[in-house]
Amino acid sequence: MTDTTGSTNPLLQDWQTPYQLPPFAQIEPAHFAPAFAVAFDAHLAEIDALAANAAAPDFGNTVAGFDASGALLDRVRLTFENLCASASPPALQAVEREMAPLLAAHDSKVSMHAGFFARLNAVYGQKDTLGLTEEQGRLLDRLHTDFVRTGATLQGDARDRFAAIAERLANLHTQFAQNILADESSYQLPLTGEADLAGLPDFLRSATRSAAQERGVDGYVITLSRSLVEPFLTWSTRRDLRERAWRAWTGRGESAARDNRPLAAQILALRQEQAQLLGYDSFADYALADRMAATPSAVYDLLSQVWEPAKASAERERQALAAQAVEIGEPGDIEPWDWYYLSEKVRAARYALDDAEVKPYFSLDAMLGAMFDCAERLFGVRFVEQTGVPLYHPDVRVWEVRRGDRLAGVFLGDNYARPNKQGGAWMHVYRKQTRNGGDVIPVVVNNNNFARGGNGATLLSFDDVRTLFHEFGHGLHGLLSNVNYTRLSGTFVPQDYVELPSQLLENWATVPEVLAKHARHVTTGEPIPAALIERIRASQTFNQGFSTVAYTSSTLIDMALHLQKDAANIDIARFEADECKRLGVPREVGMRHRLPHFGHIFGSAYYAAGYYVYMWAEVLEAEAFDAFEEAGNAFDPALADKLQRYVYSAGDSRDQRTAFRAFRGRDPQAAPMLRKRGLLAG
């Protein structure tokens, strides 16, 4: 029987492990609930003590004191969040459902702590007379805003109702996300015999065999990992099997046993009520008030510049696909499960590109080396792999991040798809950088879901390479953080700014000198030919109509959903269909994320009314990389220094518009982004 008491619970002990990582081998799901109970009590005791301080409230005894509180809870919570995402067997999923409302209830107790908020509010009222540094003033502003936005100023029944909504939403978010995970983990499309494998290149056959072995079955299987579904839709000549895979992929969250549609409707209604309790007309108004965009109208101003040009581009692409279909004897009535297949043939013909030719130059190990090299050349940090460190799964690798002789951080890479790991790609932390209460170095993890390469090297598509660099951009945002206070650390910035460091780093994946150095043929070791690099770079605007429509339609429908003032009566399936018709979303393209599996907006509130943030940040990153192109050097030392100081290391220590202006010398414009997507001439 598991001993979960404080005296033996590994989550509550001093971690005598390399880099003070969690003692993964000792942690069991049953340890979390009692550890959280202890951590909740400890955190509330700290807040009570801050509130009861007899000294007059000031920055040190109130603001900095709060920022330093909750260290034990943070340690347990971050370990829990990471394992729930990356290694979550059914027993841990059950604990996640149990803990979701308890975590929300604790957060409400803190944010509605009347005694502490009275002191915080008193300091906030004197902020202009306290002689605070820029970073101290920013911390005070952010903490005060956090408290107000989570109900600190509410009274009586409204206060109780806000807390109850937070608990219920935590439950619903968790269930929504777990339903998607269950659908993705349980589905498999077996490929039996050569006829089912028709058209699949060797790298994909190897990946599907590995997926079958992981699931204990013979032969080959397609799972609902994007790294298997999209290549299968791209290469399989079996239209019937492509349709089955596409329907399973787009139908996640709609099965009778795990129907997310009623959960989404409840989430929307509760969010709308939450926003109204705080005085906002809609949840979108509430969410945008604390982002760079500030208002829904600012988001629509951006999207309106993109939507019609993207649809026009997608229609031209559809016509090219139809012509290609006729040429190769396929039906000319393009279906959604035909797009990837036919667009690959058009791409190959137009740019003389074939993934089977390209992928051998992009092994996972080589591309890890490429991104580490870019980090060293830009920011002066080295990544040194360490072995023998106990981690939570054999797939995971660990690197020391060194600046000179100093250990500046720890980086974990978890790059393969597997059962009980959520889909997609993401960055998280086990420990945040701070100097409040001691100098703490960050521990950052990047997760991807690449298909394992069987007995040989894992080969990446160029889209996979961009994903790898994207998540590493988030990773660097956490690793390079150089602030004093935990609340301002790393990626803890507005959602429409957090994607800037990640999307910006993707640009270095296409820098010719980076590819020439690191993209080497996995068998021969020969460097990638310069002509092939140019064809890859030239193809980057190919199929952008499809990609932009799929993304922007999801963004527009997310925003429309969260602007509804009567969310209680929404049928999300009908709403999705009606909005697609109103917007003119091409049937052959559809949404990148249909609502029943739109985990970005329903798996938590983080991207709710906020899926637009990728394009908002793309405006910023296109402007930012333009600076390097204008300098004629992707590794210009002066620009790299400014980029590190004002973007990657600044966290939330200064206003983001001010920080970007300090780096770029001007406010961002949309034109570079539109040009980059091929939606604007020039």
- 3-state SS track over 318-345: HHHHHHHHHHCCCCCCCCHHHHHHHHHH
Kindly indicate the confidence band of residue 419, based on its pLDDT and cuts at 50, 70 and 90. confident
At 101 the pLDDT is 96
pLDDT in tens, 526-548: 999 999 999 999 998 999 999 99
Residue 4 has pLDDT above 80, yes or no: no
Mean residue pLDDT across the chain: 95
d(CA 323, CA 331): 10
At 225 the pLDDT is 87
Percent of the chain scoring above 90 in pLDDT: 89
- 3-state SS track over 492-543: CCCHHHHHHHHHHHHHHHHCHHHHHHHCECCCCCCECCHHHHHHHHHHHHCC
pLDDT in tens, 366-378: 999 999 999 999 9
Residue 681 has pLDDT above 60, yes or no: no
Identity of the amino acid at 312: A
Contacts 24+ apart (CB under 8 A), 201-208: 201/235, 201/355, 201/356, 202/356, 203/356, 203/359, 203/453, 203/459, 204/228, 204/231, 204/232, 204/235, 204/451, 206/453, 206/454, 206/455, 206/456, 207/231, 207/451, 207/452, 207/453, 207/454, 208/232, 208/451
Query: What structural domains does the chain harbor?
Result: 10-181 (1.10.1370.40), 261-307+545-676 (1.10.1370.10), 360-542 (1.10.1370.40)
d(CA 209, CA 135): 53
Q: What is the mean pLDDT of residues 47-56?
A: 98
Residue 1 has pLDDT above 50, yes or no: no
pLDDT in tens, 637-648: 999 999 999 999
At 408 the pLDDT is 98
Q: What is the mean pLDDT of residues 270-277?
A: 97
d(CA 457, CA 464): 14
Q: Is the whole model's pTM more than 0.85, yes or no?
A: yes
Characterise 662 by phi-psi region: left (phi > 0), alpha (psi -120 to 50), beta (else): alpha
Residue 5 has pLDDT above 70, yes or no: no
Kindly indicate the confidence band of residue 682, based on its pLDDT and cuts at 50, 70 and 90. very low
pLDDT in tens, 211-262: 999 889 999 999 998 889 999 999 999 999 999 999 999 999 998 889 999 9
At 247 the pLDDT is 97
Kindly indicate the confidence band of residue 3, based on its pLDDT and cuts at 50, 70 and 90. low
176 in Cβ contact with 263 (< 8 Å):
yes
Looking at residue 99, what DSSP letter applies?
H
At 226 the pLDDT is 87
d(CA 641, CA 633): 13
pLDDT in tens, 315-338: 999 999 999 999 999 988 999 999
Distance between first and last Cα of the chain: 68
Kindly list the catalytic residues: 471
Helix orientation angle between 544-562 and 261-277, rounded to the nearest 10 degrees? 60
At 6 the pLDDT is 61
pLDDT in tens, 289-299: 999 999 999 99
pLDDT in tens, 403-414: 999 999 999 999
pLDDT in tens, 426-453: 999 999 999 999 999 999 999 999 988 8
Q: What is the mean pLDDT of residues 463-483?
A: 97
Residue 358 has pLDDT above 50, yes or no: yes
pLDDT in tens, 76-105: 999 999 999 999 999 999 999 999 999 999
